[in-house]
Amino acid sequence: MAEVAVRCRQVTKVFGDGEPVHALRGVNLEVPFGELALLIGPSGCGKTTLLCILAGLLYPTTGEVEVLGHRLETLSANELVRFRMREVGFVFQQYNLLPTLTAVENAAVPLLVQGIRRKEALRRAAEILQQLGMADRMRAYPHQLSGGQQQRVAIARALVHNPRFLVCDEPTAALDAESGRRTMELIRQIAVRPDRAVIVVTHDARVLDFGNRLIYMNDGMIVREEMPNKKIAS
C-alpha cells in the first residue's frame, strides 16, 4: 500500500464561543500519496473547514492532523506559514488571481513568496503555463482571460513551487461543463504524481469520475468513502 500523505484522527472543529457551531465532529481520514481524493457533500457539511485544517489554514479544536509527516496541530503559527509556503498548493473556486499581474506573473507568486529572484520565478512560471497550454496567453491580465483560462493560471500558480500537497476548493464551480471537465483532466494529468496528494472539494457530480477516492461528508462527519468500483467504508 502507498505511503499515507494525509491522516486525520478524531478531528473536531468548533467555531464561536456563545453558541458554538460544530463544523467537524470526529473526522478520521487517510489519503495516500499519488491519489486524487474528492471531498464531496452538501453546502455547510464541513468539507471546506476540513480542507482548511489539512492545508494548515485553521487549527483543529481537537484531534490529530498529520500531513506530509507534519503534526499540524502542534505547529506554531509561523511554522504553519512555512509549511503552507513550501508544501501546499492552492486552487480556489474564484481563482483569486491578482488582477494587476499578468498570467505569468500570477503563476510566479509562490516562488516570489519563497524569495526566488523574479527572473527565475517568471521563467519557471512560463514553463508550467506552457505545459498547461497557456503559452500564448502569458502576458494577458486576468480580466482578459476566460474562466477556464484563469483556472489554468491558478493551477499553474498552485504547482509552480512543486508542492507535495495540492488542495482545490470547488475548482469547477465557476466553470461551464466543458471547461470544468478540462480543468479536472489537467489536474489529473499534471498535478497527480506518486510523490503528491491532491484533495479536491466539490459538489459537482460531473467531476466524480476523476477521483481515485471519493469521500462523502455530511453534518461534519465522513459518512462514506469509495474507491472507483469499490466501496471501502460506510
Partner 1 sequence: MIWVAFQMLTGDRAKFFGILVGISFATLLIAQQSSIFCGLLLTASSQIYDAKDAPIWVMDPGMQFVDDIKPMSENELLRVRGVPGVAWAVRFYKGLGRARFGEGKFQQVMILGLDDAYMVGAPREMVVGRLEDLRQPDAVIMDERGYRYLWPGQPYILGRAFEMNDRRAVLVGVCKASRTFQTFPIIYTRFTQAVRFAPQERKALSFILAAPQPSLSAKEVALRIEQRTKLKALTRDEFALVTIWYYLRRTGIPLNFGTTVLLGFFVGTAIAGQTFYLFTVENLRQFGTLKAMGVTNLRLVGMILFQGLFVGVVGYGLGIGMAVAFGILSEHSDRLSFYMPWQVMVGTGLAVLLIILLTSIVSLRRVLVLEPAHVFRT
| CA 61/CA 108 separation, integer angstroms | 34
| CA 151/CA 170 separation, integer angstroms | 11
Q: Does 75 bind partner 1 (CB under 8 A)?
A: no
Main-chain dihedrals φ then ψ at residue 205, nearest 5 degrees: -65, -20
To partner 1, the closest distance from the beta carbon of 9 in angstroms equals 21
Q: Does 76 bind partner 1 (CB under 8 A)?
A: no
**Identity of the amino acid at 114:** Q
| CA 177/CA 43 separation, integer angstroms | 20
From 26-34, 91-99, 123-131, 221-229, span contacting partner 1 (CB under 8 A): 91-99
From 16-24, 80-88, 191-199, 202-210, span contacting partner 1 (CB under 8 A): 80-88
Pick the closer one to partner 1 by CB: 106 or 226: 106
Main-chain dihedrals φ then ψ at residue 233, nearest 5 degrees: -160, 160
From 76-84, 127-135, 190-198, 219-227, span contacting partner 1 (CB under 8 A): 76-84
DSSP H or E run through 198: strand 197-202
Binding stretches for partner 1 (CB under 8 A): 48, 51-52, 55, 57-58, 78, 81-82, 84-86, 88, 90, 92-94, 96, 98-101, 105, 109-110, 112-114, 118, 169
